[in-house]
A and B are shown apart, each in its own frame.
Chain A
Amino acid sequence: VRCLSISDSNSVYSCSKRLQLNRRSVEYPEFEEFSFALRAFEQSLREAHEDDYWRQFLWPLRAYGFGLLAAPLLSGHPSACPPDTAGALRKHLAKCDLIYPGLAAPARGLVDRMTSLSQPNSSPLLDVVWELACEAVEEGRTAVLLVKNQRLAAASEMVLESEPDLGSVKVAVPAQMRGGDCYGRIIATGSDRWFPEHVFSAPRAQEVWLVHYSWISNDLKLEPLLRGSTREVRDWTAGGAPGKLDLRERLPAEQLVPTLDWGKALARARRRASAGPASEEVEARLSLLEGKWAVFLDANEGATIQAIDLEEEQALQLKRVSVSHIEPGMFIILRTEGGGDYVVPLADRILGEAAGRLRNLQTEWKQLLRTAVQLRGLSAAAAQLRRYRARLANEQNLRNWMSPRSIKPYYYEDFAAVMRLAGIGDRAEEYWRAMSVILKAHMKAGFHIRKLLLREILASDLEELEMRGRKDFNLTEAAGAVLTAFRVEGISEETVMVSPSRIGVPFELENSLWQ
């Protein structure tokens, strides 16, 4: 959040003062047929809908359909339909007659529809956007095209760049509709349900147009936010020629957005992320990141992660946030080159020549502890630690102490008990001193990286972060790492047990996990 001037603030208030909310419904019969055929096919699958076979088939079709509904993309443009999508889908269906004989023909029919839809390379939505944008530009006003997410924004930019008259039209995502930048006209494409309410209730233009295809639901009413308040319910004004009462069936907008199947994503990711004995695994939450990326975050109480909070004032935007407080819209920082933990390499540089010896000691006691735990079992080992007068011994803490991500227990009594269990109780003090040196180096490294990151953030164009949903901060020279801020799109309620080495390592999610 940056400080606005009174004049900038006044511009924002002026947008509300003269606000016109307009809606323009657009027809495209061939696409409408495709949309309803796709929905009918999905419904006909029933339980088979969950099969990976159909998920892999449906994902490109759903993504194609949603792209055309939500942005002014040309039906045959590579941004809407990657080359040879139809070919790949036909190949996928090659054995369908044997597996699902009753579904093969309608499935191929869908691919044919998509092929014929993409051949004229048209977009009635783009035609209306073009008309509205040109009108604004001719009147000397700025126009901005607003789309639901970064992927659509990038695709729309490609389309607009090729339209000579639309070069000055900016493409934006809802996160950019928060500051003091105001426009002459906002042209939002798709259903009003796909945008946060503030886009319409606290608009950054005096004129907001919603351009959408006629067969998707659009029923947002701007209700008052506060009980007993003075604000009246606001509705939309229909633009264009007055039409007759339209009683056609509409597709529910919420169901058209591709969403992650969390259950399946967790199961799949967990299979990949578990390695080694179960007793060494740590509890984690799956976090969905911008651009179909995901990461496991440590779900232990007290676990924190570096985050950028764009709602904070600039100098305080970088902060450590408890993982349990991470929510969609926040940005978390992960290492995207090398391993997951970006503090370790710098801490080792701080430790200098001693690093090797100290890390060996760390690996050694953790290995001995893991062996001891495997022999007894997790529960019995925790009970044994309690008998050895550990203060905080329980299964979860024992998992943490075994994890390479933790350096040492907080209390010496816990450490002494752990060392005794590992069979090296007589060397507890020596190891404690060594681990304290590592911990100090980690703290120093963390502080240094934070300082470097803050410097980068202060010098960065954070609008790009809001627009793209991710941004790289290259600290290779100073800290040997490329750190990336990712927008969090969602976080699993359920936790899973994963190998500690998978925590904080981003990975790409497969298409079949989306529905």
Chain B
Amino acid sequence: MKADSLYYSNGSGWQPLPYWAQFLARLGSAIGAEAPPGVRTIAGLALPVRSYAAALVAAGVVTARSAVPVRSSDPYKYFEWLSKLPAGTAVCLTDGNREYKGVFLGFEATSYGPRVGVQVEKKVKGIGGLKRWFPPEASTRIRQLDKEVSVAKLPKKQGGRRVLAEKEIVSQNRFAQYFLGNRDVYEFVMSSRLECVIVGHIGLLRQEIKDTVFASRSQSGELAQGNLQDIIRVRKFSGVNDSYRTGVIYANSKTLPDHPGSSDPAVAIFDGAASFAKWRDSFRSSSWIVLIDRTERLAGEAADLLNSEYLQYRIEGESVLDVRDVPAGVELTVFQEEAG
């Protein structure tokens, strides 16, 4: 990630992102990077204002986590993983330049060799119900979806939807490409995995992540416009068929919505004191980034909660982060705990 490649508009032109904003993105990247096994990192920040902090640290987290491939590039390893999915899992099948939603049928050892199957159409009056079986070499054409699809809900006839070619996708995601640096932007845009969850005010996050225009600069100096959603890929702010990397939860929601994906996020970002006070215990397996706006009514209480974490659970060890050069007005604490 290149935090200094990000630009914002101040009304009269593009300006490099201020130091505090670059620092927040770099901090997110450091926390998002793989932590030692069994350990999670807690970063607490007291800020003069909450604006953009969650969005920027999330951009850092997602970028760092994008170094870990979502699916194996080796089709045999991918086939092995795929064959363990339960039958009935919703999947997406790519065929040429078209994409079909379907239902995973499971693994079968056939006389031609091992196969995994996908059904893309339902059977009506004994007709149709196309089932297709794929060998390991073709398994990467199948992608898991995080939504409910049953055979009964499949169309009788499915024309599929046109998917853009890799080249087109890359060209439409220049902003992400310049920001991510030397990562595979096609793979990043096309695959989903829950990397982080932001707990906060959804409307404000939407404005900061989706409605605020930024630009990123390529090595040759070319600027591409976009918004942080192109990086963070908040599931709630995306179309149903779009890939995601981040979930958002309303700080005052009464219950915790199901996470998209099957596992806990690598990082939970608490945007505000109330978010942390209410939801911290729901993410004890994840690393935490706790953002406390000093002007919030509950700032002192949230700081007390974080301080008691520090006193009770902090484990001694070398810090994973270089926390020098903290911006003026920002207070930062970083420590590690055993992952719950």
Query: Is B8 located at the chain interface by the 8 A CB criterion?
Result: yes
In the complex where A7-B10, A15-B329 touch, is A225 in contact with B295 (Cβ < 8 A)?
no
B322-337 CB contacts (< 8 Å) to partner A: 323, 326-335
Give the shortest distance, in Å, between A308 (CB) and chain B (any CB): 13
Identify A8's interface contact among B51, B295, B310, CB under 8 A. Answer: B51
Contacts of B294 in A (CB 8 A): 197-198, 201-202, 225
Q: Interface size for chain B: under 10, 10 to 19, 20 to 34, or 35 or more residues?
A: 35 or more
Identify B310's interface contact among A5, A202, A227, A319, CB under 8 A. Answer: A227
In the complex where A13-B18, A16-B329 touch, is A315 in contact with B48 (Cβ < 8 A)?
no
Contacts of B20 in A (CB 8 A): 10, 13
Query: Is A92 located at the chain interface by the 8 A CB criterion?
Result: no
Contacts of B310 in A (CB 8 A): 226-228
Contacts of A224 in B (CB 8 A): 331
In the complex where A3-B207, A201-B294, A316-B203 touch, is A13 in contact with B329 (Cβ < 8 A)?
yes
Q: Which of B154-162, B166-174, B299-307 contacts A (4 or more CB under 8 A)?
A: B299-307
Give the shortest distance, in Å, between B178 (CB) and chain A (any CB): 18
Query: Is B11 located at the chain interface by the 8 A CB criterion?
Result: yes
CB closest chain-A residue, reference B310: A227
Query: Is B180 located at the chain interface by the 8 A CB criterion?
Result: no
Q: Do the beta carbons of B311 and A4 come within 8 Å of each other?
A: no
Give the CA-CA distance A10 to B310 in the complex, in Å.
30
Q: Do the beta carbons of B48 and A229 come within 8 Å of each other?
A: no
Contacts of A202 in B (CB 8 A): 47-49, 293-295, 329
B222-263 CB contacts (< 8 Å) to partner A: 252
Contacts of A314 in B (CB 8 A): 203
Contacts of A316 in B (CB 8 A): 201, 203, 252
Give the shortest distance, in Å, between A23 (CB) and chain B (any CB): 20
Give the shortest distance, in Å, between A477 (CB) and chain B (any CB): 30
Interface flags, A314-334, vs B, CB<8A=1, else 0: 111001000000010110000
Give the shortest distance, in Å, between B252 (CB) and chain A (any CB): 8
Identify A229's interface contact among B44, B49, B212, CB under 8 A. Answer: B44
Identify A226's interface contact among B208, B296, B303, CB under 8 A. Answer: B303
Identify A311's interface contact among B18, B297, B314, B331, CB under 8 A. Answer: B297
Q: Do the beta carbons of B332 and A230 come within 8 Å of each other?
A: yes
Query: Is A91 located at the chain interface by the 8 A CB criterion?
Result: no
Q: Do the beta carbons of B333 and A227 come within 8 Å of each other?
A: yes
Contacts of A198 in B (CB 8 A): 294-295, 299
In the complex where A13-B327, A327-B297 touch, is A180 in contact with B46 (Cβ < 8 A)?
no
CB closest chain-A residue, reference B10: A7
Contacts of B11 in A (CB 8 A): 7
B261-291 CB contacts (< 8 Å) to partner A: 272, 274
Q: Do the beta carbons of B49 and A228 come within 8 Å of each other?
A: no
Identify A9's interface contact among B52, B274, B306, B328, CB under 8 A. Answer: B52
In the complex where A1-B201, A15-B48, A202-B49 touch, is A6 in contact with B21 (Cβ < 8 A)?
yes
Query: Is A177 located at the chain interface by the 8 A CB criterion?
Result: yes
Give the shortest distance, in Å, between B165 (CB) and chain A (any CB): 35
In the complex where A3-B208, A201-B294, A229-B333 touch, is A13 in contact with B201 (Cβ < 8 A)?
no
Contacts of A180 in B (CB 8 A): 49, 51
Give the shortest distance, in Å, between A68 (CB) and chain B (any CB): 29
Contacts of B58 in A (CB 8 A): none
Query: Is B138 located at the chain interface by the 8 A CB criterion?
Result: no
Give the shortest distance, in Å, between B296 (CB) and chain A (any CB): 6
Query: Is A312 located at the chain interface by the 8 A CB criterion?
Result: yes
Query: Is A299 located at the chain interface by the 8 A CB criterion?
Result: no
Query: Is A405 located at the chain interface by the 8 A CB criterion?
Result: no
Q: Do the beta carbons of A13 and B52 come within 8 Å of each other?
A: no
Interface flags, B1-21, vs A, CB<8A=1, else 0: 000000010110000011011
Contacts of B332 in A (CB 8 A): 226, 229-230
Identify B212's interface contact among A1, A6, A12, A225, CB under 8 A. Answer: A6
Query: Is B315 located at the chain interface by the 8 A CB criterion?
Result: no
CB closest chain-A residue, reference B326: A230
Contacts of B49 in A (CB 8 A): 4, 9, 12-13, 180, 202
Give the shortest distance, in Å, between B109 (CB) and chain A (any CB): 55
Query: Is A178 located at the chain interface by the 8 A CB criterion?
Result: yes
Q: Do the beta carbons of A225 and B311 come within 8 Å of each other?
A: no
CB closest chain-B residue, reference A327: B297
Contacts of A17 in B (CB 8 A): 327-329
Identify A329's interface contact among B21, B212, B274, B297, CB under 8 A. Answer: B297
Query: Is B152 located at the chain interface by the 8 A CB criterion?
Result: no
Q: Do the beta carbons of A12 and B48 come within 8 Å of each other?
A: yes
Contacts of A311 in B (CB 8 A): 272, 274, 296-297
Interface flags, A216-235, vs B, CB<8A=1, else 0: 00000000111111110000
A299-357 CB contacts (< 8 Å) to partner B: 311-316, 319, 327, 329-330
Give the CA-CA distance A4 to B21 in the complex, in Å.
14
A1-56 CB contacts (< 8 Å) to partner B: 1, 3-10, 12-13, 15-19
Query: Is B35 located at the chain interface by the 8 A CB criterion?
Result: no
CB closest chain-A residue, reference B11: A7
Query: Is B204 located at the chain interface by the 8 A CB criterion?
Result: yes
Which residue, of A6, A16, A201, A203, has the highest number of chain B Cβ atoms within 10 A?
Answer: A6
Identify A16's interface contact among B17, B297, B328, CB under 8 A. Answer: B328
Contacts of B328 in A (CB 8 A): 13, 16-19
Give the CA-CA distance A224 to B306 in the complex, in Å.
13
Give the shortest distance, in Å, between A389 (CB) and chain B (any CB): 32
Query: Is B292 located at the chain interface by the 8 A CB criterion?
Result: yes
Q: Do the beta carbons of B46 and A225 come within 8 Å of each other?
A: yes
Give the CA-CA distance A16 to B326 in the complex, in Å.
12
Interface flags, B37-63, vs A, CB<8A=1, else 0: 000000010111111100000000000
Q: Do the beta carbons of A3 and B333 come within 8 Å of each other?
A: no
Contacts of A7 in B (CB 8 A): 8, 10-11
Give the CA-CA distance A10 to B10 in the complex, in Å.
10
Q: 4 closest Cβ contacts across the A-B interface?
A: A16-B329, A202-B48, A202-B294, A17-B328
A-B contact pairs, 6 of them (CB 8 A): A6-B10, A7-B11, A16-B329, A18-B328, A229-B332, A230-B332
Show the binding face of B for A, using Cβ within 8 Å.
8, 10-11, 17-18, 20-21, 44, 46-52, 201-204, 207-208, 212, 252, 272, 274, 292-297, 299-300, 303, 306-307, 310-311, 314, 323, 326-335
- Extra contacts, 10 of them, besides A201-B294, A229-B331, A327-B297 (Cβ < 8 A), are A1-B50, A6-B10, A9-B51, A10-B21, A12-B49, A13-B48, A16-B330, A226-B303, A230-B333, A311-B274
Show the binding face of A for B, using Cβ within 8 Å.
1, 3-10, 12-13, 15-19, 177-178, 180, 197-198, 201-203, 224-231, 311-316, 319, 327, 329-330
